[in-house]
Amino acid sequence: MSVRILVINGPNINLLGTREPDIYGSTTYTELLEMIQSEAVKLKIEVDFFQSNHEGALVDAIQIARGKFDGIIINPAAYTHTSVAILDALKAVGLPTVEVHISDPDTRDDFRKISYIRSACIATVKGKGLPGYIEALKLLCAHLSGAHQC
Ligand code: CA2
């Protein structure tokens, strides 16, 4: 069976390409999913996607991932800086997880410098725009390749 990865995006990421192109670029959320999907085909892995503007829905998606996916890529967006619930869900599920940020939150407002979820992640990719998701996919694939083939 091939590697299965769940890509989770938090609040407002569905607006990609429609607002603040100076920070988040002009590629839409749908185009991002297509980019990730076509990389997954090259890597011979399976990807699925989940986006929500609601913290509890993100927690539910992480819990449901157990047993269905081998790893998680997550951009919790603003919840990165506030959510102990998402941190606890990631720790409870225990799947290898890579944190992604399109921008580099460490170089922005002070309140973006804290990531509650980082301690539950094997790596963080930040400030690389949308290609950061592809880097995260490859990192997770390499991490999982001991147990599976990527
Ligand atoms: O850089 C990132 O990926 C962030 O996770 C994005 C969050 C922000 O709160 C984090 O500090 C860093 C915001 C997501 C907002 O997404 C938008 C996308 C397009 C247009 C407007 C908002």
Tell me the average pLDDT of the chain.
96
Going from the Cα of 80 to the center of ligand 1, the distance in angstroms, rounded, reads: 10
Q: In sequence order, what are the residues at sequence separation of 6 or more whose Cβ sits closer than 8 angstroms to the Cβ of residue 48? A: 4, 5, 6, 7, 69
pLDDT value for 1: 74
**19 within ligand 1 shell (Cβ under 6 A):** yes
CA-78 nearest atom, ligand 1: 9
- Tell me: the pLDDT tens digits for 23-72? 999 999 999 999 999 999 999 999 999 999 999 999 999 999 999 999 99
CA of 102 to the centre of ligand 1 (A): 7
CATH at residue 111: 3.40.50.9100
| 149 within a domain of the structure (yes/no) | no
Q: Is residue 29 part of a domain?
A: yes
Residue in 73, 75, 83 to alter for ligand 1 test, most ligand atoms within 8 A of Cβ: 75
User: Could you give the number of structural domains in the chain?
Assistant: 1
Q: Which domain holds residue 111?
A: 4-144
Regarding the beta carbon of 20 and ligand 1, being less than 6 Å apart is answered yes
Residue 123 lies in a domain: yes
Residue 42 CA, ligand 1 centroid: distance in Å? 27
